[in-house]
Structure formats: C-alpha cells, structure tokens
C-alpha cells in the first residue's frame, strides 16, 4: 500500500502544472514631472495585468542616455528613449554619454514624438532663439536626451553655450521652480505636448513659447522633423508655434526571451487607449508607425507581434 501511495504521489507531482516563474520587468522612465514617468507607470500597470507572471516596477531616471546605458548593463527590461540618443548609443558616441556602442539594446516599438519646447518668461524680453543670447537658460539634466536636443537646436540656430548668460543643467520641475523665482529666463524641455512642468509654469507666470523655425530644423536633419505646438497647449499660448520634433522609442534587452518580449509588446500596443488616458502625449502613438525609423534592430519578440498586426518597417 505504501508503495502504491508513493507511486501515486510521484505521478501527481509529475503531472501537476509547474507554477510560472515570476519575471521582474523594470521600466526605466525619466523625471517625475516629465511625460516618460506617467506613461511608464501606465506601461507597468498593463504589463502587470496582461503578462502572466510578470512583476513590473517603475524607475525614475535622467531619461534617454541613462536608460540606454542601464539597458546595456542589464539593469532594466523596458526603457523610454529619444531616437537621436538611440542613434548616438548605437554608434557609441562618447560626447553624447556612451563609452562604446550599445550592442545589447533592441527596439521594442516607436511611440509618440517629443516636441522641443523652449519657454521663456514673458518679462525676459525673449521672443526668438536669437534673443536667448546672454540669457539664463536650463537645458535639462547633463547629457540627457533633452540636453542633447538643446545642443543640436541651439547649434543649428548659430548659438553656443558660451553665448548664453548662464547655463543650468536641471530636470524639468527644478527648471520651472527657478523660473518662477526669476532665477532663470528660459527653459528648453524635450517632451510630449502638455508636459506637466510647463503647464505648471504657464499657470504660475506669463510665458512665451519660442519658435524653432523650419530652417533651423532643416540644418539638423533626421531624425528631427518640423512640427507645430498647437495654440492653447499651454495657458497664455494664443497661436500655433513652429518647433522641432524627435520620435521616441521603447527599447528592451537583446537577451530577453522572445515570448516574454512578445507578451510585453502585445500588452502595450493592444491597449493604447489606456496609455492615452495616462497622458495626452500618448495620443500620438500609432500602431502603423511603430516600426518606423529605428536606429537599432527590433527584438524578434516585438517584430513577431507587429508582423501579426501587418505592421512593417
């Protein structure tokens, strides 16, 4: 009888389903006052709800450059980044913050565009990019995607950092606080439309949204595109303002399993309305554009999902 019971128990254990191993999914975002962070929270929520066994978390970072380096180091599974930072990382541009080419980073999917938003205090007298000469401006955290955008845009407009009165390398929220206290004249923020930091500023003091002319954008070239910040995006902005835009991407690690990345990709792109509810910038995410313009190869798991949806590079 003992032998029979032992054999039965062994058979039961063999036939019993093995519990799925919990997979940690760390989502790397940006500063809490930007767009990456609230969207990262929404992405994490979708992964937790839609991917069996996933245990997601959200990490606030200095955004694009730090995110890409963390993915390369194996310290994250999903990350937000600007396309130009992704291209610089793939090329290993040291001046952009990359010590060597990022060989372990793969595209997960294209998302919304970042708008280069130069906002000045109305009483600063700044109306054009040229007026920034001799003024105090924050250009984002050092070697962040925003700061790289600032170098590109200001350079194309014929300005060097040395031409400015004072440069601060600060995250969005801290830049806004200094502007409220009249310690800065302007801030350049690369983010989705309606970013919380600029909304906060515009609701606190009169502002001017400074134009980035198409002629300046043309000098930079791809992946920068000419676009418009629609009138009414911020309090006191009564007219459309021309500016530059840079696509954003979600990226992942090359060594993650195909089925895991497939499930994560499906959880995100099957539920875009939930992302749009988290932040208006996500309204710019279009499934048909998800494989356009990536500077790095797509992860096979993500590529499989998009191919099933009829989306091609």
Domain architecture of the chain: domains with CATH: 22-112+248-308 (3.40.190.10), 114-246 (3.40.190.10)
In this structure, of 6-15, 18-27, 219-228, 279-288, the range with the lowest mean pLDDT score is: 6-15
At residue 13 the predicted structure's pLDDT band, cuts being 50, 70 and 90, is very low
Look-up of token digits 């029979």: 4
What is the model's pLDDT at position 18? Answer: 36
Question: Is the pLDDT score of 193 beyond 60?
Answer: yes
CA max distance for the chain: 94
What is the model's pLDDT at position 145? Answer: 87
What is the model's pLDDT at position 17? Answer: 38
SS3 56: strand
**Is the peptide bond between 153 and the residue preceding it cis, with omega within 30 degrees of 0?**
no
The beta strands (E) that lie in 83-235 are given as 105-121, 136-138, 166-168, 186-191, 207-210, 225-229
SS3 235: coil
């Amino acid at each position: 009888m003992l032998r029979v019971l032992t054999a039965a128990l062994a058979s039961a254990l063999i036939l019993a389903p093995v519990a799925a191993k919990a997979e940690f999914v760390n989502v790397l975002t940006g500063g809490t006052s930007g767009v990456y962070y609230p969207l990262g929270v929404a992405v994490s929520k979708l992964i937790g709800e839609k991917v069996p066994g996933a245990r997601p978390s959200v990490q606030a970072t200095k955004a694009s450059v730090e995110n890409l380096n963390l993915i390369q180091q194996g310290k994250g599974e999903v990350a937000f980044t600007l396309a130009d930072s992704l291209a610089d990382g793939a090329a290993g541009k040291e001046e952009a913050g990359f010590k060597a080419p990022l060989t372990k980073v793969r595209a997960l999917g294209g998302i919304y565009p970042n708008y280069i938003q130069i906002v000045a205090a109305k009483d600063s007298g700044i109306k054009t990019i040229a007026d920034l000469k001799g003024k105090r401006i924050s250009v984002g955290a050092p070697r962040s995607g925003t700061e790289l955008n600032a170098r590109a845009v200001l350079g194309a407009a014929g300005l060097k950092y040395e031409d400015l009165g004072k440069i601060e390398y600060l995250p969005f929220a801290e830049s806004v606080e200094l502007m409220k206290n009249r310690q800065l004249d302007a801030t350049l923020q690369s983010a989705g439309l309606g970013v919380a930091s600029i909304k906060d500023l515009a609701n606190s003091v009169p502002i001017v949204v400074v134009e980035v002319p198409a002629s300046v954008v043309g000098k930079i070239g791809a992946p920068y595109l000419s676009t418009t910040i629609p009138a009414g995006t911020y309090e006191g902005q009564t007219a459309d303002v021309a500016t530059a835009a840079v696509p954003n991407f979600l990226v992942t690690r090359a060594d993650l399993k195909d089925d895991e990345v497939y499930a994560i990709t499906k959880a995100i792109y099957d539920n875009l309305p939930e992302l749009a509810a988290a932040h208006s910038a996500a309204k710019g995410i279009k499934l048909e554009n998800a494989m356009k313009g990536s500077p790095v190869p797509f992860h096979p798991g993500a590529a499989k999902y998009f191919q099933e949806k009829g989306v091609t590079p």
